[in-house]
Homo-oligomer: A and B are copies of this chain.
């Protein structure tokens, strides 16, 4: 890449470069402690160039949030699309995918779930992005909801509100991973995977039809 990104591709590549640098820094230092200068130094570019590609610090954060959710959505979609599997199995696949996302993209997970920026700031400016994020979040939840619905239909799960159940399941996953994030698990000597397996097992058990 030359000093100037004349072609559209070169520009895109440069944009990507900045995004990566920003993602790493937001992950390592959090939103407030991340400076534009630091991002651009990591990207091997100058400070001013940042504003050629992004409008503001908060904008790039939102874009990353958006990216993260995109990746998660894709990982989930792929995981869930095993048509042959039972609903329980597909839910396990989905939660596994969530865990995998956390492990493979911890930076994105942090940005999505821990959210170190105050919601206000996130909403204030350029609310269009915020809306997009909300919509994507919803789409993910819907996927899980659909699986549960099918499980109920097929008689695998007892009669329950698929939406409620999906939301609860997702809250559970978020909550557990957050415990891990805050190092609260280490103190107790519990491993995240075991915890998820255990908690999820209980919940799925509760969802299944009793005979």
Copies of this chain, count: 4
Closest Cβ of chain B: how far from A211's Cβ, in Å?
A: 10
Asked whether A160 lies within 8 Å of B115 as measured between CB atoms, the reply is: no
Q: Specify which chain B residues have a CB less than 8 angstroms from the CB of A204 in the assembled complex.
A: 206
Chain A interface residue count, CB cutoff 8 Å, equals 53
A116 at the A/B interface (Cβ < 8 Å)?
A: yes
- Could you list 20 examples of A-B contacts with CB < 8 Å? A29-B120, A30-B118, A119-B182, A164-B194, A164-B195, A164-B199, A165-B198, A167-B190, A168-B176, A170-B175, A171-B172, A171-B175, A171-B179, A171-B195, A172-B199, A174-B175, A175-B176, A178-B178, A206-B206, A210-B210
A contact set with B: CB distance below 8 Å: 28-33, 115-121, 134, 137-138, 141, 160-161, 163-165, 167-176, 178-179, 182-185, 187-188, 190, 194-195, 198-199, 201-207, 210
Question: Apart from A115-B182, A163-B188, A171-B195, what 10 extra A-B contacts exist at CB < 8 Å?
Answer: A28-B120, A30-B117, A116-B116, A116-B118, A119-B182, A161-B198, A168-B176, A168-B198, A171-B176, A172-B199
